[in-house]
Structure 1
């Protein structure tokens, strides 16, 4: 039986990756932070390894005896926009994992990045894996650090002959989101906390499709290549209407022009600047919401057998899960 070291194993995607790996008869060594919320791993026959992925010696020890590594551990925090910890974890942690994988001579490492490290496009001409990074305009340490981490992986492929494949999910939706990460947008719509509709849009994907394609990348795909894992390009108006239809709530009626959204984002930063308390929104998040982050995923469909579950199904399954596991 092959053993996989999985960082970020207790996260939203990590919980699905654990289940997919076990389903395919891999042994899983689940690397998680000390004192972290491990509900996504409850009842799973995995080897829990606690530590900080920035601790090189601990990561080397965790990698010992593993055939593969899936590096999904990261801090996806975007509020506040600038965070030293985000940079340290996403870049320093990736460096430690790469060094350990090289030393352990693993058969393959799969790096889980984000589609935001590529340039986005319009619906008629969406971004792809060759589109140059466009996220620097936002001033978000999350995007900048994930771009830098991606470059570290590519450098390790070129200079250290690390057999690595890179996967880059878009905006994931689905069940098992115990800590409420990307699905917070669905809950905000359901609770009527969205005051209006931004001008931009996103590419959305079911988290189980991402998990399956990521595990496929252990044996499929080309070393040194990146693959965007996504599905439907939807404007916020289209997505909000879809969610409203599935949950029997009314979508926001107000359209928020880009200038107004940027101003609201700037004003929302005042509490953080004055008192150190991040608000629900900041200027960088508003700038992101003004743009259409659309991508094509043809490459991943062909090379990694990326499935394309309808986003409507993802929304429905997410709310079914929240109703069963929370007081929604």
Structure 2
């Protein structure tokens, strides 16, 4: 049996990756943060290995005896926009995983990045894997650190012959989101906590589809190549309408002009600093909401056999799971 070291195994994508790997007959060593929320792993026959990605000796020990590595561990925090922990985990953790993979001489490493390290575009001309990074103006350590981590992987491919393939999911939707990460937007819409509709948009993907393509990358794809894992490009108005229809609630009535969104972000951030609490919104998040993060995913569809489950199904399955868990 081939064994895979999976970092971030107890995350939203990680839980689906564990299930996909087990279904294909791989052994899974699940690298998770100590005292982390491991509910998504309950009942799964995986080897749970607690550790901090920044502890290189522990990462090396975890990698020993593994044939493959899927590095999905990261901190995706965007509020506050600046965080030393995010930078250290995403860059330092990737450096540690690369060093461990080199020492263990693994057959392949799959690095899970984010589509945001590429330039986005319009629906008519969406961004792709050749589009240069456009995230600097946001001032988000998450995006900047993932871009730096991506560069580390590419450098290791060139300089150290690391057999790495890079996958970059867009915005993931679906069940098993125990920590309520990207699906928080669905719950907020269901609870009518969203005041208005931002002007921008995103590319969305069913999380299980991202897991399938990521596991496919263990044996498919070209070393040193990046693949955007996504599906439907939807404006926030289109996405909110779809969620409202499925959840049987009213969508927000008004579209918020970009200038107003930016002002709300600044006021929210100022209020948070004044009161000494974390604001619900910051300037960077407002800027992101004003932009259209649309991507072309044909490269992954053609090369990694990325499934294209309709986002309607992803939303429905997310709400079915919410009901099972008592969230709605």
TM-score with structure 2 setting the length = 0.99
Do residues 305 (structure 1) and 305 (structure 2) align? yes
User: Is 1:164 aligned to 2:149, yes or no?
Assistant: no
Separation in structure 2 between the aligned mates of residue 276 and residue 88 of structure 1, nearest angstrom: 24
Cα distance per residue 1:186-221 (max 9 Å; x no partner): 000000000000000000000000000000000000
What do the CA deviations read for 1:263-284 (whole angstroms, capped 9, x no partner)? Answer: 0000010233234421111110
Gaps of 5+ in 2: none
- 3-state SS of the aligned residue for 2:25? coil
Instruction: Quote the residue 1:106 is aligned against.
Output: 106
**Structure 2 equivalent of residue 213 of structure 1:** 213
Q: After TM superposition, give the deviation of residue 326 of structure 1 in Å.
A: 2.2
- Residue of structure 2 in register with 1:91 after alignment: 91
Unaligned runs of at least 5 residues, structure 1 = none
Mapped pair 1:266 → 2:230: no
- Determine the C-alpha separation between the residues in 1 that align with 2:150 and 2:275: 34
- Secondary structure of the structure 2 residue equivalent to 1:269: helix
2:118 equivalent in structure 1 = 118
> 2 CA distance for matches of 1:256 and 1:34?
41
How much does 1:164 deviate? Answer: 0.1
Quote the Cα distance in structure 1 between the aligned partners of 2:103 and 2:203: 37
What is residue 195 of structure 2 aligned with on the other side? 195
Distance in 2 between the 1:55 and 1:276 partners? 32
SS at match of 2:81: coil
Residue 154 of structure 2 corresponds to: 154
The TM-score normalised by the length of structure 1 is 0.99
- Please give the residue correspondences for 1:171-190 in structure 2 after superposition, counting only pairs within 5 Å: 171-190=171-190
Instruction: Indicate the residue corresponding to 1:223 in structure 2.
Output: 223
SS of the aligned residue for 1:128 comes to coil
Question: SS at 1:233's partner residue?
Answer: strand
Of residues 37-46 and 264-273 in structure 1, the stretch that sits farther from structure 2 once superposed is 264-273
SS, match of residue 10 in structure 2 = coil
**Is residue 2:306 matched to residue 1:316?**
no
Aligned with 1:268: secondary structure? helix
Partners of 2:75 and 2:112 in 1: CA distance: 12
The alignment partner of 1:130 has SS state of: coil
Q: 1:26-45 alignment to 2 at 5 Å?
A: 26-45=26-45
Aligned length in residues:
328
Match of 1:71 in 2: 71
Q: Which residue of the partner structure matches residue 57 of structure 2?
A: 57
Q: Give the aligned partner of residue 254 of structure 1.
A: 254
Matched residue of 2:227: which SS? strand
RMSD: 0.6
CA distance in structure 2 between the aligned counterparts of 1:158 and 1:327, rounded to whole angstroms: 47
C-alpha separation between the residues in 2 aligned to 1:103 and 1:46?
A: 23
Q: For 1:13 and 1:216, how far apart are their aligned partners in 2?
A: 15
Q: Distance in 2 between matches of 1:171 and 1:312?
A: 14
Q: Choose 76-85 or 271-280, whichever is displaced more.
A: 271-280
Q: How does 1:136-155 map to 2 (within 5 A)?
A: 136-155=136-155
Structure 1, residues 44-96: CA drift from partner, whole Å, max 9, x if none?
A: 00000001010000000000000000000000000000011000000000000
CA distance in 2, matches of 1:188, 1:62: 38
**1:327 Cα offset (Å):** 3.7
Equivalence map 1:234-253=2 (5 Å): 234-253=234-253
